[in-house]
Amino acid sequence: MQPSEGEASLARAATVLATAPEQLPLSKRLKAGTRRDHDSVDTLVMQSRPFESLARYGCFLRLQHRFHGALGGLYDDIELNRLLPGLRELPRFEAVRADLSDLGLPHPPTPAAVAPPSAHAALGWLYCCEGSNLGAAFLFKQGQQIGLSAEKGARHLAAHPDGRGLHWRQFVDLLDGLALSENQREEAVGGAVAAFDLYRAALRDIFPAA
């Protein structure tokens, strides 16, 4: 008897859980190592009600400006582009700046650049940043309800021209294809956690409490 689709999914999940962390592909290792951070940031974003009004969305754009602006230098880094070919094509900071202009909002000063201790730690920062684009599909739909679009105000939330799924799979394939030591993989997880920490702190600093 063939297993049902649900049984097959449970079997795959059990296989992943039973796999030692060092044996997981890097993308899955990063996902497992940041699950709580990801969930807490997701919750905070929703609690901040960024699409309740254009004023609150303006706060969200300031948050995105601070985060994406701080990571901009990573996308131009020579070593990281060697590890992840095409990385230079992916940043969304200029799209965030365009969104601010669309809504007639001033551009905050460009934030200080993050300085991960190694290229491998930087991989975790990039995983966090690029992964946020996959989850932006829901945010983009919320933005449409207050008059935003891929041409006005929500450019940085719009899907990649090749589609969110394909774009993400290509990025993950590059990550998972890297031959890293266990220490380097740990550095990557630490970088991803640091990225979530920065985003969380920025959110609490920028958004009004009510």
pLDDT for 113 beyond 90: yes
Query: Which among 114, 115, 88, 84 has a CA at the least distance from the CA of 180?
Result: 84
> 3: which DSSP letter?
P
> What is the chain's alpha carbon radius of gyration, rounded to the nearest angstrom?
18
Would the pLDDT of 58 be above 80? yes
- Please check the confidence at residue 23 and state whether its pLDDT lies above 70: yes
- Which alpha helices (H) appear in the chain, and where do they start and end? 5-18, 26-33, 35-47, 54-76, 78-83, 93-102, 119-144, 164-176, 182-206
Q: What is the pLDDT of residue 27?
A: 96
Q: What is the pLDDT of residue 184?
A: 97
CATH code linked to domain 25-206: 1.20.910.10
Burial code of 44-81, b = ≥16 C-beta within 10 A, e = fewer? ebeebebbeeeeebbbbbbbbbbbbbbbbebbebeebe
Mean pLDDT of the chain, nearest integer: 89
Say if residue 186's pLDDT is above 70: yes
Given a cut of 60, whether residue 12 has pLDDT beyond it is no
Average pLDDT over residues 136-148: 92
Return the pLDDT at 109.
95
**Mean pLDDT computed over 8-18:** 40
Whether residue 117 has pLDDT greater than 70: yes
Give mean pLDDT, residues 13-20.
43
Q: Which of 16-20, 21-25, 49-53, 66-70 has the lowest mean pLDDT?
A: 16-20
Query: Would you kindly state where each structural domain of the chain is located, as residue ranges?
Result: 25-206
Q: What does the pLDDT average to over 156-169?
A: 84
Greatest Cα-to-Cα distance within the chain, rounded to the nearest angstrom: 63
37 and 60 Cβ atoms separated by less than 8 Å: no
